[in-house]
Amino acid sequence: MNATKPSWFSHSALALGFAFLYLPMLILIIYSFNESRLVTVWSGFSLKWYGELFRDQQMIDAAKVSLQIAFMTACASVVLGTMAAMVMTRFRQFPGKAMFSALMTAPLVMPEVITGLSILLLFVAMGQTFGLFQERGVTTIWIAHVTFCVAFVTVVISSRMSELDRSLEEAAMDLGANRVKVFFLITLPIIAPALASGWLLAFTLSLDDLVISSFVSGPSSTTLPMKVFSSVRMGVSPKINALATLMIAIVSIAAFLGWWLMAREEKQRQRDMQLALQQGG
């Protein structure tokens, strides 16, 4: 769509939309600095809830478990997701391709309670039959998270791969490079930004998951969302506001850095292109 003069309609749609998305977050942040225990009455500026948050050893342990699982999930999902994206965008027919693509899109929409329950039943059945996964915990949560994250990572990477100019790969192939070499020397560097965003997406999805983790966790592996959920169920607490503010701050900083790096790279690319054009002319 070509950019046209934005109308009052567009302006107000954007203003209202962003207000709807960001006002609740803003309120959350403001009240994290509230002195009072009551989340809705302002009684003065204080950092005490941050102090309480960092003294909550259970919360910190849960955060460690979650970060560890999210890191392992993101790494495995990017490896499997890149393979799946290759298959979806580069491979023509093979027996079972329809099934393959169904397996890669269904997790995008599958209700979490169904995925969580079913994979737990698998772990239990494997425990009975092969003696595997007797102890549920970090490993079972990791497997379950990778299973739903791969689908999201595959979407991100395959949309980048299908936009990619194939002539580079074909040229390398004509010059005698085999497929493996072409992948590592040509394709991989080009899709690297998509791998990075896929990694981050899987990391945040895993860090955020409550339902699937609740089904497949064991007694010694409480994740951060499980801890937050049980404390929100008890009622609102400014400690959760403090935690929310920290999360929002980290995500915003990461997003800003990513945006800034991309913008810089884009500027550099345009400058290079102009330079090349001038030299050519």
Q: Is 128 in the site for other proteins (CB under 8 A)?
A: yes
Q: Which of 59, 74, 84, 172 binds other proteins (CB under 8 A)?
A: 84
Q: Residue 45 pairs with which residues in a beta bridge?
A: 34
Question: Which of 75, 87, 138, 196 forms a contact with other proteins (CB under 8 A)?
Answer: 87
Query: Is 210 exposed, middle or buried (CB count within 10 Å of its CB: 0-12, 13-18, 19+)?
Result: middle
Binding piece for other proteins, criterion CB under 8 A, among 50-58, 121-129, 168-176, 270-278:
121-129
The residue written with tokens 């909550």 in the block is 56
Interface with other proteins, residue 25, by CB under 8 A = yes
Considering the rule CB under 8 A, would residue 3 count as an interface residue with other proteins? Answer: yes
Which range of residues in 45-53, 56-64, 103-111, 272-280 is near other proteins by CB under 8 A? Answer: 103-111
Kindly state the smallest distance separating residue 23's Cβ from other proteins, in Å. Answer: 9
- 35/280 with CB nearer other proteins: 35
Look at residues 82, 65, 63 and name the one whose alpha carbon lies nearest to residue 139. Answer: 65
Asked if 19 is part of the footprint of other proteins (rule: CB under 8 A), the reply reads no
How far is 156 from 74, CA to CA, in rounded Å? 13
Q: Is 113 in the site for other proteins (CB under 8 A)?
A: yes
CA dist 238 and 32 (Å) reads 6
d(CA 172, CA 110): 40
Here's the x/- map for other proteins, 205-234, by CB under 8 A: it reads as: --xx-xx--xx---------x--xx--xx-
Tokens of 10: 């567009």
CA 187, CA 209: separation in Å to the nearest integer?
32
| Identified binder of other proteins from the candidate list 35, 39, 68, 193, rule CB under 8 A | 39
What DSSP line would sit under 158-200, residue for residue? HHHHHHS-HHHHHHHHHTT--HHHHIIIIIHHHHHHHHHHHHH
Interaction between residue 109 and other proteins (CB under 8 A) = yes
The yes or no reply on residue 71 touching other proteins (CB under 8 A) is no
56 binds other proteins (CB under 8 A): no
Residue 27 — φ and ψ, nearest 5°?
A: -60, -40
Length of the chain measured in residues: 281
Kindly write out the interface string for residues 140-179 of this chain, putting x where it contacts other proteins by CB under 8 A and - elsewhere.
Answer: ---xx-xx--x---xx--xx--xx--x------------x
For other proteins, the closer CB: 116 or 279: 116
- Backbone φ, ψ for residue 172 (5° rounding): -65, -40
